[in-house]
Amino acid sequence: MEKKPLDQGQNPAAQGESGLHTDFKENMTYGEYLHLDKLLTAQDGLSDHHDEALFIIIHQVSELWMKLILHELRAAITNIEKDDLQPAFKQLSRVSKIQTQIIQAWDVLATLTPAEYMEFRSTLANASGFQSYQYRMIEFALGYKTKHVLKIYEKDEELLSTLTEAFHQPGLYDAAIRKLARAGLPIDEEIVSRDVSTPYEPNDSVLAAWTTVYRDVDTYWELYQLAEKLVDVEDCLQQWRFRHMKTVERIIGFKKGTGGSSGVHYLKKVLDQYFFPELWTLRTEI
């Protein structure tokens, strides 16, 4: 006899699923495990406009994905420093997959029209995605360090302390370059022992080392894999930045951002920033 699909709310035992748990008086529920009481009541808008819920949820979901990106990046850096590259590859691949989710989120936000956004934009005051501390920590983890951004977070001493600590830790590219040196490829000592809180500048010895890896893939297979994982991460981040810029242009044109930035003009400038410059330069060299 063909089984009929279980309707929502219908007794599962009546469908032959007698083993399902339905009494949770003494046991933890799905909602309790995920703290859904907190998660699903954290969308308090400041206006009565229908579309503010969309705006809030998109940004909250992106922050959750960024939390996972940071979790994976930290683990990948640790594993590279331990010369344990295989787990790092898995973690960096996961980062790239997460990034595709955040990129696609812009397509949802782009359904917000300029007229709709103007109905509640003023309620944001000076709050802006520019102030996302997790995004800054992702930049720090990838090796992009600009000290002036720390000033944004002086209001919260605990958060500032967390960001300052992350600011002074080696980034993903620092870990990768040091791995090149440990593999016997000649890297300038000033790069290996550099102050990781300063912005990274392209270096000829690093370019030569990565070029060697790409010209002798069989000998340096793991380093070649590492390089391509880094390129995947940066490629996805640049796609995220591009979709961010185009979505902002679509919704507010060339108005200033709520955080005081030049808006689209600023977002276009950051598209020219590179995290792993030699990995892009060598594509012309080889």
The two three-digit tokens of residue 127, written as one number: 């709050």
Cite the annotated binding site by residue number: 55-59, 117, 121, 244, 258
Return the SS3 of 55: helix
Return the SS3 of 84: coil
Cite the annotated binding site for substrate by residue number: 55-59, 117, 121, 258
Query: Using only C-alpha atoms, what is the Rg of the chain?
Result: 23
Distance between terminal CA atoms of the chain? 65
The two three-digit tokens of residue 218, written as one number: 């069989």
Cite the annotated binding site for heme by residue number: 244
The two three-digit tokens of residue 148, written as one number: 């002036």
Return the SS3 of 3: coil
CA 137 vs. chain centroid, Å, equals 9
SS percent in the chain: helix, strand, coil, step 5: 65, 0, 35
Reference 263, options 242, 250, 245; nearest CA is: 245
